[in-house]
Amino acid sequence: MESNCVFCKIIGRELPARVEYEDDRVIVFHCKDPSAPVHLLAVPKKHIPTVMNVEEADLPVISHIHKIAQEMYRQFKLEGMSMNVNCEEKGGQDVFHVHYHIKGWV
């Protein structure tokens, strides 16, 4: 865990979040500044700064996030969804801990 990372602090329960799902590899919580009716952030518990830092050993957790997105789609009875990850500041990343935006519409 990175001591100055806001997502690591959420994972460590140092900061509050409205958690929707959690297991030993991933936490999913509601975005504090949503841009869709349902806007979740899926975050691996392992601190990975950007998608460019994902290694082969990390691929199972990335795949797992996609599976969780399917579960969230069903749980929220969504009629449409987008999922994206930003990379680096110029790519729109503002927290340097890999996270997937799961945005859904009902």
- Measured between alpha carbons, how far is 81 from 69 in angstroms, rounded to an integer? 9
Strand pairing class (26-30; 19-22): antiparallel
- Measured between alpha carbons, how far is 86 from 74 in angstroms, rounded to an integer? 24
Catalytic residue from among 64, 97, 99, 101 = 99
Active site residue 99: yes
How distant, in Å, are the alpha carbons of 14, 38, 70, 77, 106 from that of 74?
30, 12, 6, 5, 11
- Measured between alpha carbons, how far is 4 from 55 in angstroms, rounded to an integer? 22
Which residues are known to be catalytic? 99
